[in-house]
């Protein structure tokens, strides 16, 4: 209160305007600093040869092709497993469950999964997939761990997308004599597709970025993984090993730049999808 | 007709299974961590494990307390840095900034959230650690350095959740305040922020969860010395880094002890989530009550 008496409301307004604008600017500068630094240091290393050749001397020189393939491979496995599960759960919770208490449980379960530390998933992956299920260090083990981590994101975003579809859409379909599943399949899913795609993309971003969860599941082989039972080394794990073991700072910058570019592309693409989706819902 | 009914029934049950799947997974995760962690807790003793002061696996000493303390310190210090900045910038983006600027900032926040934690750690290792060494002396690997990196990493979480909370404050609350002649800032301070407070608290708790759980980025800049730090410029080792550092070669009871420390992490996260849920539920009651 003493503060209020000392400074008039108008002065307070002016001061706070500056403070608020400054804080917004700081956030933006932090992003610019980190991304700018990584790209400026990393992009000179990134060329076609770096992208498409094998590492030499455990990554001291040479490229990162097997790591790019490992990343895409584990992400693909994770997506193929997590998408049907997350989407199925989202359809059930928003269309079938009604006021069943299961809704609360599933949502809380998803929140727990979304906030568990990645290293806990790493330990679970090691104990369950690698040792118990005897999948060894493999793309499959890593993909399964990442699928579990991507699951809550896909579920949460798809549920939001499905439940935001106007009721009139469903009523129109029911009015024409369609069954529940026909309505879901022909009306709800096609309308919610951009939202669902956003959920899948966000889940996959989590999978692409993850290192701690896969470090004990996927192995750290420098060889090109062919089958899903081969070990691999996704990009974040490669970056981690290159920089902490002091193998090659240059190639670490290059790898970091490739990761940052991947994330940038995904973010721009998912924003494009969301905008399109909003126009579609509002335009009709 | 019957066939249609049967397939509708099967589809519903199939979807139910996918819905229950996430719950089953959590139980399986919990079960496996407990099975693997229990022998350590049993052999070492619960109190000796959680409150023991020294961690020397080669000497069969497994006291987790230094790591717990470091995790808490790193998390709190990162919150001290991240919370004011992220709240002020959320207020700026929802209440002050023009719409087209907000549209531009959203992808910026999403990009910050999407950058892999290893990239943050790498940035910390190559830029922040040498900078800290230059300014404060020592090695540059410290609790302070780790907290800065963590603060940057939890910014997007706190910003996006608290923005949502600020946006959900009904417009007529603000209009009433402005109508009484209050300035924008008075309205923000006396109406908008108090109304959004439960959402803001949830945002902070989620950020806290992310900070406690972060592994590699912290490990790359924290120095990883097992001790209870005397100053913020001492090197530290968190629970998560400890697991990541030692899992590769741990055997026997050491292996089990690392799983037991994962149980501790699991419990911390669960407690944070329950608190967040409680705050949210209370908020719902308040809105209805008024």
**Residues B14 and B156 grouped into a single domain:** no
What confidence score (pLDDT) does residue A4 get?
A: 54
Contact (Cβ atoms closer than 8 angstroms) between residue B236 and residue B228: no
pLDDT at A43 (0 to 100):
95
Pick the CATH number of A48-283 from 1.10.3720.10, 4.10.95.10, 3.40.50.720, 1.20.1730.10: 1.10.3720.10
The rounded mean pLDDT for chain A is: 90
Q: Is the pLDDT of residue A281 over 70?
A: no
pLDDT for B34 beyond 50? yes
Distance of alpha carbon A228 from the chain centroid: 21
Structural domain includes residue B270: yes
Residue B162, domain member (yes or no): yes
Res A85: pLDDT: 96
- 3-class DSSP state of B55: strand
Q: Which A residues, 160 through 189, put their C-beta within 8 Å of a C-beta on chain B?
A: 179-181
- Per residue in B157-167, pLDDT (tens digit) is 999 999 989 99
CA closest to B7 among chain A residues? A181
Q: What is the pLDDT of residues B201-237, one digit of tens each?
A: 999 999 999 999 999 999 999 999 999 999 999 999 9
The partner residue sitting opposite B122, judged by closest CB among A93, A155, A239, is: A239
Same-domain status, B143 and B269: yes
Asked whether residue B39 falls in the same domain as residue B81, the answer is: no
Instruction: Tell whether the model's pLDDT for residue A1 goes beyond 60.
Output: no
A196 contacts A158 by C-beta, under 8 angstroms? yes
CB atoms A211 and B216 under 8 Å: yes
Same domain, yes or no: B100 and B230:
yes
A140 contact B CB<8A:
no
Span B141-165, mean pLDDT? 94
**Which positions 23-52 of B are in contact with A (Cβ < 8 Å)?**
23, 25-26, 28-29, 32-33, 36
Residue B58 lies in a domain: no
Same domain, B246 and B275: yes
pLDDT band at A3 (very low <50, low <70, confident <90, very high): low
Q: What's the pLDDT at B290? A: 43
Q: Is the pLDDT of residue B183 over 70?
A: yes
Range of the domain at B267: 67-289
As a whole number, mean pLDDT of residues B265-274 equals 92
* Domain count for chain B: 2
**Spatial separation of the C-alpha atoms in residues A209 and A71, rounded to whole Å:** 9
Closest chain A residue to B30, measured at CA:
A124
- In this structure, what are the phi and psi dihedrals at residue B223, rounded to the nearest 5 degrees? 90, -30
Judged by a CB distance cut-off of 8 A, whether residue B89 touches chain A is yes
Q: Are residues B155 and A106, on separate chains, in Cβ contact within 8 Å? A: no
Three-state DSSP state, B62: strand
- Do B231 and B90 have their domain in common? yes
Q: What average pLDDT does chain B have?
A: 90
Residues B80 and B34 in one domain: no
CA distance B259 to B203: 29
First to last CA, chain A: 51
- The verdict on a CB contact (< 8 Å) between B111 and A127 is no
- Mutation for A interface: B15, B101, B131, most A CBs within 10 A: B15
**Segment 61-90 of chain A within 8 Å of chain B by CB:** 84-89
Please say if the pLDDT value at position A262 is more than 60. yes
Does B61 reside within a domain? Answer: no
Question: A240–B85: do the CB atoms touch at under 8 Å?
Answer: no
CB of A17 within 8 Å of a chain B CB? The answer is yes
Q: Which residues of A touch B14 (CB under 8 A)?
A: 88
Q: Tell me the ipTM for this assembly.
A: 0.90
B141 touches chain A (CB under 8 A): no
Beta bridge partners of B236: B223
Q: Report CA-CA distances (Å) from A158 to A85, A164, A165, B33, B111.
A: 11, 10, 11, 30, 20
Q: Is residue B161 situated within a structural domain?
A: yes
CB B220 within 8 A of CB B227: no
Does the pLDDT of residue B105 top 80, yes or no? no
Q: Cβ neighbours of residue B7 under 8 Å, at least 6 residues apart?
A: A181
Residues B144 and B44 reside in one and the same domain:
no
Rounded-to-integer distance, Cα A79 and Cα A82, Å: 5
The pLDDT assigned to B222 comes to: 95
Coil/strand/helix, residue A56: strand
Domain boundaries, given as residue ranges, for chain A: 2-42, 48-283
**Cα B170 to Cα B211: distance, rounded to the nearest angstrom:** 31
Contacts with B, A 94-133, CB within 8 Å? 96-97, 102, 105-106, 108-113, 115-124, 126-128, 132
Indicate which CATH number applies to the domain containing B169: 1.10.3720.10
Q: Which pLDDT band, with edges at 50, 70 and 90, does B78 fall under?
A: very high
- Examine the pLDDT at B25 and tell me if it is beyond 90: yes
Q: Has residue B242 been placed in a domain? A: yes
Choose from A1, A37, A42, A117 for mutation: most chain B CBs within 10 A: A117
pLDDT tens digit sequence for A114-146? 999 999 999 999 999 999 999 999 999 999 999
**Same-domain pairing of B17 and B115:** no
- Please name which of B219, B224, B246 lies closest in space to residue B235, comparing C-alpha atoms: B224
Render A156-174 in DSSP notation, one character per residue.
Answer: HHHHHHHHTS-HHHHHHHH
First CA to last CA across chain B, in angstroms?
Answer: 51
Q: What whole-number percentage of chain B has pLDDT above 90? A: 70
Q: Is residue B59 assigned to a domain?
A: no
**Are A243 and B122 in contact (CB < 8 Å)?**
yes
Chain-chain contact of B119 with A88 (C-beta, under 8 angstroms): no
- Rounded Cα distance between A62 and A54, Å, is 6
Closest CA to A91 of A165, A191, A159, A183: A159
In this structure, the answer to whether residues B103 and B232 fall within a common structural domain is yes
CA distance A244 to B223: 11
| Same domain assignment for residues B132 and B24 | no
Say whether both B36 and B71 belong to one domain: no
């Amino acid at each position: 209160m003493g503060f209020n008496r000392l400074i008039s409301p108008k002065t307070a307004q002016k001061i706070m305007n500056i403070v608020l604008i400054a804080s917004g600017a700081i956030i933006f500068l932090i992003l610019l600093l980190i991304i700018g630094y990584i790209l400026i240091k990393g992009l000179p290393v990134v060329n076609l040869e770096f992208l498409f050749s094998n590492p030499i001397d455990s990554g001291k020189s040479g490229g990162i092709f097997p790591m790019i393939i490992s990343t895409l491979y584990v992400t693909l496995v994770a997506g193929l497993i997590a998408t049907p599960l997350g989407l199925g759960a989202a359809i059930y919770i928003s269309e079938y469950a009604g006021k069943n208490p299961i809704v609360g449980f599933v949502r809380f379960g998803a929140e727990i999964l979304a906030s568990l530390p990645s290293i806990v998933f790493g330990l679970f992956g090691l104990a369950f997939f690698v040792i118990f299920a005897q999948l060894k260090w493999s793309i499959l083990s890593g993909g399964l761990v990442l699928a579990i981590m991507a699951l809550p994101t896909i579920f949460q975003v798809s549920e939001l997308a499905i439940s935001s579809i106007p009721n009139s859409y469903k009523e129109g379909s029911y009015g024409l004599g369609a069954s529940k599943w026909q309505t879901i399949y022909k009306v709800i899913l096609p309308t919610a597709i951009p939202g669902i795609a956003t959920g899948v993309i966000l889940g996959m971003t989590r999978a692409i970025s993850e290192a701690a969860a896969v470090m004990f599941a996927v192995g750290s082989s420098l060889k090109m993984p062919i089958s899903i039972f081969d070990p691999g080394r996704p990009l974040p794990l490669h970056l981690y090993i290159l920089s902490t073991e002091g193998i090659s700072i240059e190639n670490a910058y290059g790898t970091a730049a490739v990761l940052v570019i991947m994330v940038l592309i995904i973010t721009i693409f998912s924003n494009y999808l969301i905008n399109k989706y909003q126009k579609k819902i509002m335009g009709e | 007709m019957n066939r249609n009914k049967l397939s509708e029934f099967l589809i519903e049950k199939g979807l139910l299974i996918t819905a229950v799947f996430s719950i089953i997974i959590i139980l399986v995760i919990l079960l496996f961590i407990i099975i693997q962690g229990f022998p350590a807790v049993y052999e070492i003793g619960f109190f000796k494990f959680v409150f023991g002061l020294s961690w020397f696996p080669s000497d069969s000493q497994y006291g987790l307390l230094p790591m717990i303390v470091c995790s808490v310190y790193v998390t709190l210090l990162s919150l001290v840095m991240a919370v004011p900045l992220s709240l002020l910038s959320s207020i700026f983006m929802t209440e002050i900034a023009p719409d087209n600027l907000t549209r531009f900032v959203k992808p910026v926040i999403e990009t910050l959230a999407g950058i892999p934690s290893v990239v943050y750690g790498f940035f910390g290792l190559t830029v922040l650690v040498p900078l800290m060494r230059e300014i404060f002396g020592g090695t540059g690997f410290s609790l302070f350095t780790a907290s800065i990196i963590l603060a940057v990493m939890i910014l997007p979480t706190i910003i996006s959740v608290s923005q949502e909370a600020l946006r959900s404050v009904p417009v007529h609350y603000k209009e009433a305040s402005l109508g009484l002649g209050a300035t924008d800032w008075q309205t923000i301070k006396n109406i908008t922020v108090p109304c959004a407070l439960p959402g803001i608290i949830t945002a902070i708790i989620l950020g806290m969860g992310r900070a406690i759980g972060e592994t590699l980025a912290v490990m790359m800049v924290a120095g990883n010395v097992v001790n209870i730090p005397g100053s913020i410029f001492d090197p530290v080792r968190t629970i998560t880094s400890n697991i990541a550092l030692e899992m590769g070669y741990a055997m026997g009871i050491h292996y089990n002890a690392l799983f037991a420390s994962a149980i501790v992490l699991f419990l911390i996260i669960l407690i944070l989530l329950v608190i967040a849920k409680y705050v949210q539920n209370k908020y719902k009651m308040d809105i209805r009550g008024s």
